[in-house]
Structure 1
Amino acid sequence: MGKTVVTVILIVIIVAIVAVMLWGMGVFGNVFGWGNTWFGGGNMPVFSCNGVTVGFNGTLPNANNAEKGTQVEKNISEVQGVTLDFLHENIEVVPTDGDTVRIEQTSNQTLTDEDIMRFGMLNGRLVAQSGRYGKFNIGITPVAPGSMITLYIPKDSSLPVELDTTSGRIAVQGGAFGFLEADSTSGEVNIESVTASNVELDTTSGRVTVATLKSRSLDVNTLSGSINVSAAEIEGMAEFDTTSGSVDFTGSAEEIVSDTLSGATRAEASGLRAINISSVSGSAGLVCGDTANLRDIDVDTTSGSVTIELPDNEGFTVEFDSLSGDKSIQFEMLDDTYKNGDIEINVSTVSGGLDILKK
């Protein structure tokens, strides 16, 4: 019995020390509060029978600066950017013809005080967040299902916009933005008819769908959700990273980088200078609309098959490294070279085969 008591006391002491360290580093403010800094300090936590409430360090100066309501609007001349950060709420962005930036919260259920969003201005940015941020509740706390956060924004605003929700979905239906970032843990992310300087999309298990996008760059990361991009015009790099989800890209880009563990990658692209596909067991398929700028094709896979479709061109060189995979090329080769051999095709696989088809 004595040893058991000592063990329990030691566990309590260790947990208390860790909690104090995390609090001092700002982790509670980062995870449970309005924060995104490690060493922000922030307001002292308020203890109540409902749990721990942490101040708004990192996003708004303090709780007193956060207003509460289901609607906020600002003239676009007052706003340099928009940040939405929510938990269970769905987020929708709607372009408008006016000159007002407006955020509305609606629900098919009754909203409690904690469900109602908080908002304010920080360094020129309009910030709105879940009313449940800043409170860590022990036990099950009901939330209003079906809550929707809608951002109405002038269609040619070119404002930087950051969208974040834990389990809700995110949809952006048109508009022109600066930097556009959308992050959902388990919800889907849908982007359609958008122009932006740069686009970054992240999900854990939710699917990412992009249709008709113009941007300098595109960066998409998922754990198990699939990635589907169509009618994209990317001036620079389109980068995709997923563990088990598939990647499907159609459009134009200067460079494509796709890294998957078991998901297949398929790209039908024009304007390419380089493409790099890496996968353990997923197959890789590439259809090149043109080869005017194409210089490098690199594919690395363990067991997935590789198919490359090219129009007739000035020439390429093939380096194929495989233990048991077969190689088939529809072009008239001299050793491993076609015509001038300018385009370098490097394919490495353990058991997957390589097919190079003439388009």
Structure 2
Amino acid sequence: MKKPVKQAQQLSQRQVQRQDLRLFSVLAVPEADFLGQAAELEADPLFSKLFQPDAHGRAPLRRRRFPGASYAFSLACGDEALATAAGPGATAGEWLSERPAMLDLARRAGAAAFESCFLSGLPFSPPSAAKECGLTQAEVLALKSFVDAFILSHERVAPAALPGLFLRCAARIAAEKGRLFIEYTHPSYLKGAYVIDGEAFSRLLKSGALSPAEAARVRNLASRAQRIGWRKAGFHRTLSAIIERQKSFLLGEGPLKPFTQRELAAAVGLNPGTVSRLISAKTLITPQGEEIKLKSLFRQKNAYIIDKIKDILGAGQKKLSDAEVAETLKAVHGIRVSRRSVNLYRNKAGL
């Protein structure tokens, strides 16, 4: 009876290892180079053709947005250095001069309506958008044109020209009605990962529409798309898990919870080393506007318990026995530790 379970565990481990090996080829690449690779892929004319439906109505390649992911438009568009860098690649004339007015329209629309109408990837309806945002149809059309142009221009900015914030800071975390939302600082993450339709892809290769050289390039492009998608998807899963675990802290409602990179790796199904590489040197902007390192959101359980003991003892002002502290930890905080462990923690903290 135990063999199937053991085999399933081994299979699961092999699947994780294979995924990690695929990720490894792009994990070692610095963020600037990675974003450059993603932009180069998106700008390839042959790659763009893979998103066109065939006679069966299916495209060889499609994009899959990450759940709960958006784009930090106001942060990016409001940054003078980034706006200047994006200007030369603009596709909507003198849109850069319209930036203050467009930012004001986005603010008037409200965060939720702006996300729904301009960043969700859903079909755009001027009448519906105008009603939802409380703007005129002329205003939503102008805003839509501007947003699309800015996102495209931002994506095409050479990584070397990006302000440092937009390379080290992965996302801004927005809070609304007790919920947290990920607003990525680069539009590449807004687009999400890529999904290959095997049948449509095979039909394209067999159709004769591609020369042998183009067919080889298409295979290479699809492989690159998969690797880029794996890194982005792995990072999104990792960031989402961190935010979910430390939700109360990010909302300003409580301290950091005990959480290690090993626990995170188990939660997202990745190797701890993979997780470490994904978050290395990355930061995020909290709902309170503070930029913090992702690694600062981890906390060892021992440190957490010591803080709770300090709270119970009132920084040493209350005189409680180790047994009483252990009982309070269990009753109030749900932490089960022995009296002896409490004594060790107190000695370590000088309590």
TM-score range, shorter chain: under 0.3
Higher helix share: 2
More strand by share: 1
